[in-house]
Amino acid sequence: MLGRMADNLYWMARYVDRAETLARLLESTHTVSLMPTAGAEQAEWRALLDVSDRDSFAERYDRPTQNAVISHLVLNPANPSSILSCFGGCRENARATRHMLTTELWEAINQTWLEVKDLTYARLLDIGQAEFFEWVRNRAEQIQGVAAGTMRRDDGTFFLRLGSMIERADGTARTLRLRRLAPQAEVVDYYRWGAMLRSFSAFKAYREIHRGGIEPRKVADLLIFRHDVPRSLHFCMDGVTRVLDRLRPAAACARLAGRLHADLHYGSLDELDDAALDALLDDVILRNNALGTQIQKDFMMIRQGLAG
């Protein structure tokens, strides 16, 4: 397939996953902010700015109030990672490759965009924040489900999978890093980490694996090292290496992915104190990012010569 098409598919999948991660983050923050003990709910919302584009926030909003942050993360067209921008970007990439998509997949993406493109903040409040975040998650899940259920397993779906896994790893690592930054009183902590587990659909998994209470380190262990939790870093790298093994095992990106995967596969929380844990997350974010760049270089560079 054309390298440019691979690039479009890769980004299409990244945007979908990005919208989903953001919706999950907003959902969990929303839950925490409803807690009577929180008191510092503005801080919860403010913290979300760390995972988004600060420049476009400053251009449009005065203060990081809850309304401003939500509006920025959901609707600000100048924010390249707002949910609106994600669905728009997903749809633009899908439009460029729609001849490679099944009709069902294109319709799922197009329909999502048509429903969200004229959304206003007032309308968002009408719908209800929790309702809307759930809608975003549902649409993202639908798009991914339709892709899995209808697309032929050719190179195209490999690039969708790569985009999805790279983006998801980034989202998980960043969210975890964000949540580790501001420890609160113990009781609040319990709810914060609980909400976060739920936002990763991992609450049940945690309960099955760990008896006792919710401990931040165990949550980190679950979302970093467990191979069987679908939003964990280890799981994501399993996915990436498996695809690259099929696509081109000798590619430079396959080596980067293999090394990162090995660290997650053979690493253990027992070796890490809290500072080392944070450092590991920072390291994963950087290496995952470099891996994404290398995948694009290896497969999608539009200006490659005959030597390839």
Partner 1 sequence: MRKPPFDEMHGQRGEIRAAYREFGNWLHSTSVERLSERHRQADLLFRRLGITFTVYGDTDGTERLIPFDIIPRILDALEWRKVGGGVTQRVRALNAFLHDVYHDQEILKAGVVPADLVLNNAAYRPEMKGLDLPRRIYTHVAGIDVVRVDAEDFFVLEDNTRTPSGVSYMLENRQTMMRLFPELFARNRVAPVDHYPDLLLRTLRSMAPAGIDDPTVVLLTPGHFNSAYFEHCFLAQEMGIELAEGQDLFVDDGTVFMRTTEGPKRVDVIYRRIDDDFLDPKTFRPDSMLGVPGLMSVYRAGRVALANAVGAGVADDKAVYPYVPDMIRFYLSEEPILKNVPTWVLRKPDDLSYVLDHLPELVVKEVHGSGGYGMLIGPTSTGAELDAYRARILACPENFIAQPTLALSTCPAFVDAGVVPRHVDLRPYVLSGEETVVVPGALTRVALREGSLVVNSSQGGGTKDTWVLEE
Phi-psi region for residue 273, left (φ > 0), alpha (ψ -120 to 50) or beta? beta
CB 288 within 8 A of CB 259: no
250 makes contact with partner 1 (CB under 8 A)? no
List 34, 58, 114, 262, residue binding partner 1 (CB under 8 A): 114
Interhelix angle 103-116/129-150, nearest 10 degrees: 160
d(CA 240, CA 14): 13
Interface size with partner 1, residues (CB under 8 A): 31
Torsional sign, CA 148, 172, 288, 301: positive
Write down the least CB distance from residue 2 to partner 1, Å. Answer: 5
Count of positions (residues) in the chain: 308
213 alpha-carbon distance from chain centroid: 26
Q: Please report whether residue 98 would count as binding partner 1 according to CB under 8 A.
A: yes
The structure tokens 């090292």 sit at 225
Residue 305 touches partner 1, criterion: CB under 8 A: yes
Q: Which of residues 146-165 bind partner 1 (CB under 8 A)?
A: 155, 159
Q: Is 5 in the site for partner 1 (CB under 8 A)?
A: yes
By CB under 8 A, residue 1 contacts partner 1: yes
Q: Does the footprint of partner 1 cover residue 142 (CB under 8 A)?
A: no
With beta carbons less than 8 A apart as the criterion, state whether 90 and 109 touch. yes
Which segment (90-98, 214-222, 229-237, 268-276) binds partner 1 by CB under 8 A? 90-98
Least gap, CB of 3 to partner 1 (angstroms): 5
Residue 105 interacts with partner 1 (CB under 8 A): yes or no: no
Of 1-9, 48-56, 71-79, 143-151, the segment contacting partner 1 by CB under 8 A is 1-9
Pick the binder of partner 1 from 62, 63, 99, 268 (CB under 8 A).
99
Q: Tell me whether residue 98 or residue 255 sits nearer to partner 1 (CB atom).
A: 98
Q: Is 104 among the residues that bind partner 1 (CB under 8 A)? A: no
CA distance 179 to 203: 16
Q: Which residues contact 83 (CB under 8 A, 6 or more apart)?
A: 19, 22, 23, 73, 74, 75, 116, 136
Binding site for partner 1 (CB under 8 A): 1-6, 92, 95-96, 98-100, 103, 106-107, 110-111, 114, 155, 159, 247-248, 299-306, 308
